[in-house]
Homo-oligomer: A and B are copies of this chain.
Amino acid sequence: MGCEEASACNNAMIRVAVLGAGRIGKIHARNVAAHPGCRLIAVADPLKAAARALASSLGAQASADPAAVLSRDDVDAVIIGTPTDTHVDFILEGARRGKAVLCEKPIDLDISRADHAVAEVERLGARVMIAFNRRFDPSAAAMKRAIDAGEIGEVRQVIITSRDPEPPPPGYTGSGGVFRDMTIHDFDMARFLLGEEPVEVLAMGNALIDPETPEGYDTLMVMLRTASGRQCHINNYRQAVYGYDQRFEVLGSRGLLMNENLRPTTLRRWSGERTEAKDPLLYFFLERYAEAYRLELDAFVAALDAGNAMPVTARDGRAALRLADAALESAQTARAIKV
């Protein structure tokens, strides 16, 4: 990554459009603008003011029409950060026009629409990557490399603790519920770390923070099992007062791997009351996974440059959604769901 000779780079630069100028669109647009292998062509958002503000600060064009931007000839790749119910349409439109696509999760809230999208993408041989950003976190990636290198022998149990600092804002609807909105990241991480497909899901959910939450649950636990008997536990909570808690642990027959949360500083305070007191965690995903978003873009660009397969496929996006559906069913029926 990176090139010192600008002239050499320009020839190979990938021309990118970002659809959606919300908080996730901003992250992607800025990373594209700063990436030595990309040029940010345009930002599109029906909220024209948002598109304009973001585009102008980055020297790109603004548009209120994502579909129009998607069809521009001078765009090689699109990053989709629009509302979930538009994902499949933009993915398929991009795929048909030969654009490389990096799309935010989830692929859709409806598994049959997701199935349709996967089938179409595969039929077209399109280059579509789903943005499960956590895989690109340096510690998660190092954990995966250590597993794949056999450092801990056979994987036995994966423990995923994933807690948000606060629930979605009141107006946040259409998420499809907490399993499809929040846990879906953990389902992807479970698949990533287990190294095998889960075939059985058990879940329980409660609404302890807000009994009226439109998401159904805000406090939940899940167990997954693969065909060979590898197990995974996930716990989620929507209001961890100490910050965005992201811990992954993999037990193997020959060892254990753990990551650690990130904080704004490394300061440790000692007093007559407490020792080794650290800062609260980085607030939320934008701060916690800032580096992961950059490395995710890197991986996308690198795969395009090399003509390699996408590091996270539409099929991966569909698989996580299927687990979310199964977890919801398990939580509602109090029994294991086969996947």
Q: Is the CB of B265 within 8 A of A142?
A: yes
Copies in the complex: 4
Q: Is the CB of B221 within 8 A of A157?
A: yes
Q: Mark A10-41, 1 if CB is under 8 A from B, else 0.
A: 00000000000000000000000010100000
Q: Which residue of B lies closest to A239 (CB)?
A: B253
A112: CB under 8 A from chain B?
no
Q: CB < 8 Å: which of B6, B237, B257 contacts A270?
A: B257
Q: Is the CB of B266 within 8 A of A259?
A: yes
Q: Cα distance A242–B276 when bound, in Å?
A: 10
Q: Is the CB of B240 within 8 A of A269?
A: no
Q: Which residue of B lies closest to A222 (CB)?
A: B223
* Residues of the B chain whose Cβ atoms lie less than 8 Å from the Cβ of A124: none
Q: Which residue of B lies closest to A255 (CB)?
A: B271
A59: CB under 8 A from chain B?
yes
A251: CB under 8 A from chain B?
yes
Q: Cα distance A241–B256 when bound, in Å?
A: 9
Which A residues between 322 and 339 are near B, CB-CB below 8 angstroms?
Answer: 334-336
Most chain B beta-carbon neighbours within 10 Å: one of A262, A271, A280? A271
For chain A, which range describes its interface: under 10, 10 to 19, 20 to 34, or 35 or more residues?
35 or more
Which A residues between 264 and 297 are near B, CB-CB below 8 angstroms?
Answer: 264-281
A86: CB under 8 A from chain B?
no
The answer to whether residues A275 and B267 also contact, given A156-B219, A233-B221, A251-B237 and a CB cut-off of 8 A, is no
Q: Which residue of B lies closest to A228 (CB)?
A: B208
* Residues of the B chain whose Cβ atoms lie less than 8 Å from the Cβ of A146: 267, 269
Q: Is the CB of B268 within 8 A of A254?
A: no
Q: Is the CB of B271 within 8 A of A241?
A: yes
What are 9 residue pairs bridging A and B, where the CB atoms are less than 8 Å apart in the complex?
A4-B53, A154-B208, A206-B231, A257-B268, A257-B270, A258-B270, A261-B266, A268-B276, A274-B278
